[in-house]
Structure 1
Amino acid sequence: MDEDGFPALSPRGRRTLAALITAWLLLMGLADIWSRMPLEYMRTLPAGAWLPVLSGVAMAVVVFAPVRVRIEGRAAVAAVLSLTVTGWLAWAPEDGPGSGTLESAVLLVLLARTARTARPWAALGLCLLLGATIVAGPARSGLRYVAHWSGFSSLLLLAAVAAAGFGCHLRMLDDRRARAIIAVREGERLQLAHDLHDFVAHHVTGMVVQAQAALAIREHAPEQVEPLLRGIEKAGNETLDSMHRLVRVLREQDRGTVRPDDLLAELALLISRFGQAGHPTVRLDVSAEARAAELDPEVETTVHRLVQEALTNITRHAPGARDARVGLTASPGTLTAEVVNGPPSQGAMPPGGRSGGFGLIGLRERIEVVGGTLTTGPTPDGGWQVTGTFPVRPQRPVTAAPGLGGSPA
C-alpha cells in the first residue's frame, strides 16, 4: 500500500501477482489429476471421476478467457456449469468423486472478482450464488455421505466468505480512489478558472485605461487614438478567447499556482532550486522557435506546472538519477515541453508505475483543458519521460509579438 492507502503495484508487480495466481491454479489442477491416478493395479475410480477436472478447466477458460464479456456473465455461466455437475454427481447411484480442487480455486478467484467489479445490483446475488456453488461442491461424493463431507463444506464456506470480503475491500479502495481522482480533477479545473479570471481582470483593466486615454487625447492628438483603439481591440479579442475557455472549464467541472511573469526565467529559477536541493543536474534546452512562440497565460502556467510536477516525480521515484533534461521546442501551432531523467540508481519505481499518485492525473486534466496532450513512459535506458504539447497563440498583425513568457498589456 502507498501513502494514500491504495494498492501500489508496478506493472512488474502485477505481472508477478498474475504469475503467482496462475502457478497456484496449475498446482490445484495437478493435485486434481494426481488424486485420481490409480495407486493400485486394477483399482477402479468412482463414476465421473474426471468430470470435476474437466469442469475446472472449462471454468478456468470461462473466467480468464481474454474476451469482452462482463464479469456478471462469467459468474453466471461458471455457477450454472458447476451446479449442473454437482447435481448430476450428487444424485448418481454410484459413489461420486467429490469436489475438484481446481474448480474450487477458480470459483474463489471468481467470487473475489465479482465482489470487486460487478455492478452493485448484481454483485450481491451473484456472490451468494457463487458461495452456494462452492459450498455445494463436496456433495458430489453423494448425498448419502453428507456426514462425511459437511465438515469440508464448512471450510469452503469460510474460504468463500474470506474471498468475498477481500473483493469488497478492494471495491472500497477502488471507490475511494475514484473519488480522489474526481476531486483532483475538479481542483485543477477550479484553479485554472481562477487563473483565467485573473487574466481577464488584467485585460479589462488595460482596456479601461486605454479607453480613458483615448478620450483624453482625442481633441489635441487624434492621430494617437487609432493605436489605442487597436490595443483595445486586441485585448478584447484575447479576453473573449479566455472567457470561452473559462466557460468550458466551469462546465466540465490548494495548490495556489500563479502565472509566471516570464516563463523561461521561472523555469530557470525552478531548475536552479531543484539542483541546489541536492538533486541531479538538470539541463534546460530551449529552441529558437520556442523562444519566439506566444502562449496564452493559462498555457504558460500549465507548462510551468508540467516541469514542476516532473521534477517532483524525479525526486520521489528516481533517487540517484544522474541527469535530467528539460526541453522546449516549437513547430507551427504547437509547443512541446519535455522532461527526461535517467534511470534511478536503486531501481525505484517510475512515476507511472504507481497506482496511488494523483499528480500526473491532475496534470493531464489541466493540459487537456487548455487544448494540449500529455504522454508519459519509460525511456530505453530505464529512465522516464514526461512530454506535453500545447497550442501556440496565433500571431496577430496589430502589434509585435512579445515572445514566450511576455505578458500582454
Structure 2
Amino acid sequence: MDWNFPRIPAYSRLIKISSLVAFTLTWLADLSALRVSPDRFGSPTTWLPVLVTGPLIVLAVLSTFRSPVLAKRVIGVVTLSLAVTAWSLFDRPDLAWWGALETCGLLFLVIRTTAHGWRPATAAAYTTVLGAAVLALPLRTESWSTFGAGGYVLTVALAVSVAVGCAVRALEFRRERAVHDVRQAERLALARDLHDLIAHHMTGIIVQANAGLTIQATAPDKVASILRNIVLAGTETLESTRRLVYVLREDDHAALRPGDLLIELADLVSAHSAAGSDDTPAQLDVTAAARAARLSPEAELSAQRLVREALTNVRRHAPGARTTVRLDVDTAWLYVTVTNTAPSGKAAHTGGRGGFGLLGLRERVEALDGSLRAGPVPHGGWQVEAALPLAPVAGPPGDQPSPG
C-alpha cells in the first residue's frame, strides 16, 4: 500500500501541514535539549541523533518522486540508527536522551512498513528490524532507570504503531476489495445490457427473414432490401458480441431495449431540474452533428448511465449548482460532457458508495474502447467528460483513432 491522501485538496494540505508542524516542533525540542547540554559537541554521539540521524529518518518517512523504494529506505534507516546506538556503547553521549525526532521518525516508518502492500511475511520482517532499532534506542543512555522507563514507553509506542499500521493495511485491503467488486459488477451489468441488445437484434433478424420467405414468391423485388437490413443488423450484433467479455443474467433483471438517446437525456435533465426543493437548473445542449450521428446501442446506454450518475452526484454534492449536459461528435467519437457550477448550498453528506460510481462508469466506458475524465473546473465547479465510439469498429480497439 502507498499512502494515498484523501482526494479532497483541503484535507490533503491539512495532513501535510500538520505533519510538517509536528516534526518541526519535535526537532526544536531536540535542539533545545542539545543547547542546554554542558558539552554539546564534545562527543559525536551527542549531536548526531539531533542534527543527522533524526532529520535523515524523517526524510525517509516522507515520499518524493526521487525517493528510493521503501525497502531500501528501511534498510538504510535501521543501519544508520543501529550504528549510532552501537557507537554510543563505546562513546557515551553527554546528553541523557536519544533523540525525539529520530524516535518519531522510526515509529512513523513502522506504521508505513506495516501498512505497505507487501506479503505479510515481508511486512513482518521489515517491521521486526525497525522495532529492534526502536527498542535499542535507550541503550544510548548510561542510566538504567532511564533505560527501563524508556524501554517501557517505547514498547507501548511500538505496539500502538504496529496496531495502527495493521488497521491501515486492513482498510486498504477492504478498499481494494470494494474497487474490485464495483468493477466486476459494472462489467456484469455491461454484459447483461449487451446480451439484451443482441437478443433484440436477433429478434429483428428472425422477423425480417420470415418476412422475406413469405414475400419471395409474390414480391421478389423487395427481398433484396430485407437482406440488406439483415446484413446490417447482423454486423451490429457481431460487433456487440465482440465486446461481450462475461455473460451473466440475473433472474430479476428487466430486459433492456435501445431507446432514443436524446429523449432519454431530456427526461433525465428535466427530472434533475424538478427534483428536490432547491433550485437546481439544468439544460441539455446537443449540437446538430450529434443529432444526426449514428450511435451503437451500447454507446447510447453508456451515455445514459454517465449522465444519470453525474446528475446524481450534482444533487448530492453540489446543491443549487447550474448544470449543463452537452453532446457533440467528431468523425469517430461521441463526447458527453456534464459540467456544473459551484454549489450555492451546503452539500448533504449522505454517505453512499464513496466515489465508486465514477469508477464503475470508467470501467464501462473503457470496455467500449472509450475514455472518461472527471475533475474540478475553474470557479469551483466540476466536470465529467466521456468519449464514446460512434459505432463499433471491426478489429482490435487500437485500430480506431484516439479521442481528441
TM-score range, shorter chain: 0.7 to 0.9
For residues 339 and 197 of structure 1, the distance between their equivalents in structure 2, rounded to whole angstroms, comes to: 28
For residues 94-133 of structure 1, what are the structure 2 equivalents within 5 Å?
97-120=96-119, 121-133=121-133
For residues 250-269 of structure 1, what are the structure 2 equivalents within 5 Å?
258-259=256-257, 261-269=259-267
Distance change (3 Å), C-alpha of 1:375 and 1:255:
farther
Q: 1:349 Cα shift?
A: 9.8
Matched, 1:172 2:178: no
The equivalent residue for 2:281 is 281
For residues 244 and 276 of structure 1, the distance between their equivalents in structure 2, rounded to whole angstroms, comes to: 40
The equivalent residue for 1:50 is 47
Distance change (3 Å), C-alpha of 1:107 and 1:347:
farther
Q: Which letter maps to 2:47?
A: W
> Which deviations, in whole Å up to 9, do the C-alpha atoms of 1:10-30 show, x marking residues without a partner?
222012111101111111111
The 8 Å contact of residues 258 and 301 in structure 1, kept in 2 or not, is answered as no
> Which deviations, in whole Å up to 9, do the C-alpha atoms of 1:276-307 show, x marking residues without a partner?
11351101100000111111111101100111
The 8 Å contact of residues 98 and 139 in structure 1, kept in 2 or not, is answered as no
Q: 1:49 Cα shift?
A: 1.2
The equivalent residue for 1:326 is 325
For residues 202 and 180 of structure 1, the distance between their equivalents in structure 2, rounded to whole angstroms, comes to: 33
Q: 1:108 Cα shift?
A: 1.1
Helix, strand or coil for the counterpart of 2:46?
Answer: coil
Helix, strand or coil for the counterpart of 1:246?
Answer: coil
Q: Which letter maps to 1:153?
A: G
For residues 84-103 of structure 1, what are the structure 2 equivalents within 5 Å?
84-92=83-91, 97-103=96-102
The equivalent residue for 2:199 is 201
Matched, 1:76 2:71: no
The equivalent residue for 1:24 is 22
The 8 Å contact of residues 135 and 154 in structure 1, kept in 2 or not, is answered as no
Helix, strand or coil for the counterpart of 2:336?
Answer: strand
Helix, strand or coil for the counterpart of 1:343?
Answer: coil
For residues 298-337 of structure 1, what are the structure 2 equivalents within 5 Å?
298-321=298-321, 323-337=322-336
Which residues of structure 2 form unaligned runs of 5+? 394-404
For residues 50 and 392 of structure 1, the distance between their equivalents in structure 2, rounded to whole angstroms, comes to: 68
Distance change (3 Å), C-alpha of 1:27 and 1:393:
same
Larger displacement relative to structure 2 (201-210 or 297-306): 201-210
Distance change (3 Å), C-alpha of 1:33 and 1:96:
closer
Q: Which letter maps to 1:36?
A: L
The equivalent residue for 1:399 is none
For residues 260 and 237 of structure 2, the distance between their equivalents in structure 1, rounded to whole angstroms, comes to: 20
Q: Which letter maps to 1:167?
A: G
Q: 1:93 Cα shift?
A: 5.5
Distance change (3 Å), C-alpha of 1:182 and 1:257:
farther
For residues 259 and 375 of structure 1, the distance between their equivalents in structure 2, rounded to whole angstroms, comes to: 27
The 8 Å contact of residues 320 and 344 in structure 1, kept in 2 or not, is answered as yes
Distance change (3 Å), C-alpha of 1:255 and 1:220:
closer
For residues 58 and 113 of structure 2, the distance between their equivalents in structure 1, rounded to whole angstroms, comes to: 15
Which residues of structure 1 form unaligned runs of 5+? 1-5, 396-409
> Which deviations, in whole Å up to 9, do the C-alpha atoms of 1:357-388 show, x marking residues without a partner?
21000011001101211111111110101111
For residues 46 and 23 of structure 2, the distance between their equivalents in structure 1, rounded to whole angstroms, comes to: 19
Paired residues in the alignment total 378
Q: Which letter maps to 1:311?
A: L
Q: Which letter maps to 2:87?
A: W
The equivalent residue for 1:407 is none
Matched, 1:367 2:375: no
Distance change (3 Å), C-alpha of 1:208 and 1:383:
same
TM-score, scaled relative to structure 2: 0.87
Distance change (3 Å), C-alpha of 1:255 and 1:159:
farther
Matched, 1:136 2:136: yes
The equivalent residue for 1:404 is none
Q: 1:274 Cα shift?
A: 1.4
The 8 Å contact of residues 188 and 247 in structure 2, kept in 1 or not, is answered as yes
For residues 281 and 210 of structure 1, the distance between their equivalents in structure 2, rounded to whole angstroms, comes to: 45
Q: 1:146 Cα shift?
A: 2.5
Aligned CA-pair RMSD:
2.5
TM-score, scaled relative to structure 1: 0.86
The 8 Å contact of residues 375 and 388 in structure 1, kept in 2 or not, is answered as yes
The equivalent residue for 2:231 is 233
Distance change (3 Å), C-alpha of 1:146 and 1:256:
farther
The 8 Å contact of residues 214 and 228 in structure 1, kept in 2 or not, is answered as yes
Larger displacement relative to structure 2 (258-267 or 226-235): 258-267
For residues 221 and 186 of structure 2, the distance between their equivalents in structure 1, rounded to whole angstroms, comes to: 46
The equivalent residue for 2:401 is none
